Homo-oligomer: A and B are copies of this chain.
Amino acid sequence: MTEHIVSSFDTDLKEIGRSVVEMGGQAERLVADSVEALVKRDTELAQKVIVLDGPVDLLQREIEEKAVLTIARRQPLASDLREIVAAMRIANDLERIGDLAKNTAKRVLALTGEFHPQKLVRGVEHMSNIVLEQLKVVLDSYASRDDAKALEVWQRDGEVDILYTSLFRELLTYMMEDPRNISLCTHLLFCAKNIERIGDHATNIAETVHYLATGQLLTEERPKQDTSSLTSVAFPA
């Protein structure tokens, strides 16, 4: 009897874990597609991202519901409880990542027909490649419960922040040089911010995986390097 209970609890746990991994794959796809749509000015792909964010939101609610019912029904022990709480937290981060990708996709639609020098987009593309790599590694670290990998992601968040700050400054400079760049650069600034925040969510997930693997919180202050909100670019004389 006890065995029966334990094994159906295990089934619940595995199902929740599988949903999180599936959701991770979907969120990763949305981020990659949103950036590709931006770089290639592909409005059809952008539309697809906007539509496919819906199923990601739905999956988050399903995971939450399943998690809560599992806790209520199975009264799990501390370590199993951790597993379920981690799934809920990661699903939350993935849902936000989907929203941010959707926002980038919407901006692609706003930019059709706009003056659009490839140079300006390149910085955003470079930054998003790094964030996509971070996201991939952290999702792997969850799937394999690999604390070392998670810590790697956590430590590298600073790089993304540094890139974002320098991109912020660069885009502001382009606006000042040529007012025709203002509308495009403004949207690119928001896209860059979206991507930087996706990086933050990847870092949150890394913290959750660490907590899952070790039962410990990462109490040390996160290596924050984003100073863009503190950035002010003087008007060139």
Chain A residues close to B by CB (< 8 Å): 64, 68, 71-73, 75-76, 81, 84-85, 92, 103, 106-107, 109-111, 113-115, 172, 175-176, 179-180, 182-183, 186-187, 189-190, 193, 229-235
Contact across chains for A81 and B68 when beta carbons are under 8 A apart = yes
Contact across chains for A229 and B106 when beta carbons are under 8 A apart = yes
Contact across chains for A179 and B176 when beta carbons are under 8 A apart = yes
Contact across chains for A110 and B179 when beta carbons are under 8 A apart = no
Known: A183-B235, A229-B110. A64 touches B76 (CB 8 A): no
Q: Is the interface of A mostly helix, strand, loop or mixed?
A: helix
B contact residues around A109 at 8 Å (CB): 229-230
B contact residues around A175 at 8 Å (CB): 175, 179, 182, 186
Query: Shortest CB–CB separation between residue A201 and chain B, in angstroms?
Result: 12
B contact residues around A72 at 8 Å (CB): 71-72, 75-76, 81
Contact across chains for A107 and B229 when beta carbons are under 8 A apart = yes
Contact across chains for B179 and A183 when beta carbons are under 8 A apart = no
Contact across chains for A232 and B81 when beta carbons are under 8 A apart = no
Contact of A106 among B182, B183, B230 (CB under 8 A): B230
Complex Cα distance A166/B175, Å?
A: 21
Complex Cα distance A233/B111, Å?
A: 10
B contact residues around A84 at 8 Å (CB): 68
Query: Shortest CB–CB separation between residue A124 and chain B, in angstroms?
Result: 15
Given contacts A111-B232, A189-B189, 15 further A-B contacts (CB under 8 A): A68-B71, A71-B72, A72-B75, A72-B76, A72-B81, A106-B229, A110-B232, A115-B235, A172-B182, A175-B175, A175-B186, A176-B182, A182-B233, A182-B235, A190-B193
B contact residues around A176 at 8 Å (CB): 179, 182
14 A-B pairs, CB-CB below 8 angstroms? A68-B81, A68-B84, A72-B76, A106-B229, A114-B232, A172-B182, A172-B186, A182-B182, A182-B235, A183-B232, A183-B234, A183-B235, A186-B189, A189-B189
B contact residues around A235 at 8 Å (CB): 115, 179-180, 182-183
